[in-house]
Amino acid sequence: MADEQHDTIDDLLAEARTFPPPEHVTRDALVTDTALYDEAAADHEGFWARRASELVSWAREWDTVCEWELPFSKWFVGGTLNVSYNCLDRHVEAGRGDKVAIHWEGEPGDTRTLTYAEMLDEVQRFANVLKGLGVERGDRVNIYLPMVPEAAVAMLACARIGAAHSVVFGGFSSQALADRIDDAEAKVLITADGGYRRGEVFPLKPAADEAIAHTPSIEHVVVVKRGGNEVAMVDGRDHWYHDLMETADPTCPAEPMDSEQLLFLLYTSGTTGKPKGIMHTSGGYLTQVTYTAKYVFDLHPDTDVFWCTADVGWVTGHSYIVYGPMSNGATQVMYEGVPNFPGNDRFWEIVEKYGVTVLYTAPTAIRTFMKWGPEEPAKHDLSSLRLLGSVGEPINPEAWMWYHQYIGGGRCPIVDTWWQTETGGIMISPLPGVTTTKPGSATFPLPGVVAEVVDDAGERVDHGGGYLTLTRPWPGMLRGIWGDPDRYRETYWSRFPDRYFAGDGAKLDADGYLWLLGRVDDVMNISGHRISTTEVESALVSHPGVAEAAVVGATDPTTGQAIIAYVITRGGADGDGVTAEQLRAHVAAEIGAIAKPKAIFITPDLPKTRSGKIMRRLLRDVAEGRTMGDTTTLADASVVEELQRRAAESPQED
Ligand code: WT7
């Protein structure tokens, strides 16, 4: 095991370039000194309590800031608030109802503008729709939508009535959706007929239909009309969104909810078996996302146009499209489609059109833009941009420099933000008016976050490589895994005593800067999305022609990692003539296109230890074209030679 992790935590790269905050940023930045850091270091809980009262509107103040019974935390205990009130009503009450909340851009080029007053109206009506369908406080509602404003409306409507949403990314398969609905026992599913992607309508309702054929908990389905594609509606169960909204009562008061009321579940991949329903609650989560959206992005709601390019189906969309920016009353862009429709300059066209000032995107997208060349952004006036953000995986220094130069025009600071579905909000990041950045480093924990790098034995490392751990509870932290407290403890709190282990390798340089080094567990990071090797293996093995499968993430210049699978087919008729292409399609059907292996090698055998454990390290070596390391623990070393021969002969991908 130690051996397997070794290459992940070696300290190999030295980056000497530094970028102090530019004068045009420090002039107006919300934070320009270390006062917040000092305040948090002096009094951790007091720091968060002050953020909670400054940034969030409470119906009732809390009695206790934090109850910490490792590994379970509760924040602002006894306090009550309504999250949708914080994101909508309070801005309207303050006279900012006409301010644009969302500039929505459809992929075909159609647009919609929603002000805060309009959002509030829509959310109240939809909250009443949900109530009318029998949704009550504490129930779960599933959301399976394209990137349309109704996704944000549905989430906020759930929050308004104290129902927890569970958003499933629209690119996931019906099987993945069914698993998540079942696990959450959701009552209502909100979906669409279809959405636009790369110039075509992709149907969602048929996938939803397939899923709910196997999910007894779903009583009603609400369908947003977007794609215009033909869909089947089941009488009494399925309802058009626009029909329900037409007759909905326009007022739905925001009732106070307990600070620890479940706000949402979001499923994420773990190292084993089925996805984990990560639980986030109300008061602490809202405090952290409001705080981080404000200070990391240096948000000036009156002048900024914020654009987070993530899908609402991921945590980035939850925290930095819906809750963080809206709680701050910001104006933002929401875009439905892909970056290369109709041309490779679509993002830059959008930045110019709306005057985007703060752009938050992912390294995999940046590397793709690099491939398309600087002439694409050069077609547009990007001078409105003043700050750039990155999230999802380590950003390579070269990608950082390209982003800085060709998108930021050399003038915009870059905030490389490290966090996870589990942390709820940003944890490690520069503050743009304070931190001198280094390309590729997420720099320092934010004020209020305490992170430490430790070695194998759990001893603190002050310089060099190790494992990233968090040592103090934070308000946005996950409250557990839905229905499985033991798995929560086991997954995050058992590797090192009294420490949350995030699953990432990290190093500290001589100046104390943190450098994230990628996952050290069996979780891959494909284009910033976490996919477990086990889940893809299970999907492959569920094909009748497959006997055994081993999956690894191999370094890939565009997607960070690429999924490479090694498959042993079954003897006899089942496995006869199974092709890699069929298996790729099978994985797409089981999990979703996102988990489709880039290459599948059909092999007679897999390298295993004598105890039968698949040696993934060796498979990664093969996949990345490296010569073999130590194979002495292998049961049969000739297997690897055979695999290498096959890898050299049959490279196959898209
Ligand atoms: C994993 C969490 C956080 C929202 C998107 C992904 C990796 C995320 C960074 C970064 C290096 C990063 C980590 C982390 N990651 N941001 N700035 N630098 N690595 O959320 O699906 O929960 O994945 O993404 O490996 O553990 P997620």
Domain identity same for 432 and 556 = no
Domain assignment of residue 68, yes or no: no
Residue 611 has pLDDT above 70, yes or no: no
In a domain, 155, yes or no: yes
Does 35 share its domain with 169?
yes
Query: What pLDDT, on the 0 to 100 scale, is given for residue 614?
Result: 74
323 pLDDT above the threshold of 80:
yes
DSSP 421-447: TTT-S--B---TTTPPB-TT--BSBPT
Q: Count of domains in the chain?
A: 2
pLDDT classification of 10: cutoffs 50, 70, 90: low
Domain end marker among 388, 413, 437? 437
- Residues 390, 262, single domain; the answer is yes
Q: Is 503 in the pocket of ligand 1 (CB under 6 A)?
A: yes
* pLDDT > 60? residue 86: yes
Protein residue whose Cα sits closest to atom 20 of ligand 1: 420
Of 420, 437, 454, which residue is a domain's last? Answer: 437
pLDDT tier at 623 (50, 70, 90 boundaries)? confident
520-556 tens-digit pLDDT? 887 888 988 888 887 888 889 889 898 888 899 999 9
Which of these three, 406, 437, 468, is where a domain ends?
437
Q: Is residue 392 part of a domain?
A: yes
Residue 538 sits in the same domain as residue 432: no
Q: What percent of the chain has pLDDT over 70?
A: 93
Longest dimension (CA), the chain: 73
Question: Is residue 604 exposed (0-12), middle (13-18) or buried (19+ Cβ within 10 Å)?
Answer: exposed
Q: Report pLDDT digits (tens) over 576-596.
A: 789 999 999 999 998 889 899
Angle at 370 between CA 365 and CA 376, to 5 degrees: 95
Is residue 13 assigned to a domain? no
The best mutation among 419, 435, 468, 526 to test binding of ligand 1, ranked by most ligand atoms within 8 Å of the C-beta, falls on: 419
- pLDDT at res. 3: 37
Domain that holds residue 599: 527-649
| Cα(396)–Cα(130) distance, integer angstroms | 45
Phi, psi values for residue 369, rounded to 5° = -60, -35
564 and 430 housed in the same domain = no
Instruction: Point out the least confidently predicted range of 107-116, 366-375, 495-504, 602-611.
Output: 602-611
Is the confidence at residue 24, as pLDDT, over 80?
yes
Of 533, 529, 536, the closest CA to residue 559 belongs to 529
Asked whether residue 596 is assigned to any structural domain, the reply reads yes
Residue 416 zone, left/alpha/beta (φ > 0; ψ -120 to 50; rest):
beta
- The structure tokens listed for 439 are 């390309």
Q: Closest ligand 1 atom to the C-alpha of 529?
A: 21
| In a shared domain, residues 428 and 533 | no
Token look-up 């990137």 returns: 147
Residue 505 included in any domain: no
479, pLDDT greater than 80: yes
User: Which pair of structure tokens corresponds to residue 71?
Assistant: 């590994």
For residue 419, the CA-to-ligand 1 centroid distance in Å is 5
Do 426 and 569 lie in one domain? The reply is no
CATH number of 317's domain: 3.40.50.12780
Identify whether residues 308 and 413 lie together within a single domain: yes
Q: What is the average pLDDT across 286-309? A: 98
In angstroms, what is the C-alpha Rg of the chain? 24
Least confident of 76-80, 170-174, 512-516, 518-522: 518-522
CATH at residue 574: 3.30.300.30
User: Within a domain: residue 59?
Assistant: no
Say if 414 falls within a structural domain. yes
Ligand 1 geometric centre to CA of 423 (Å): 10
Please determine, for residue 607, whether its predicted confidence score (pLDDT) is greater than 80: yes
Task: Give residue 418 CA to ligand 1 midpoint distance, Å.
Answer: 6
Lowest mean pLDDT among 44-48, 247-251, 344-348, 462-466: 462-466
Separation CA 437–CA 94 (nearest Å): 37
Mean pLDDT of the chain: 92
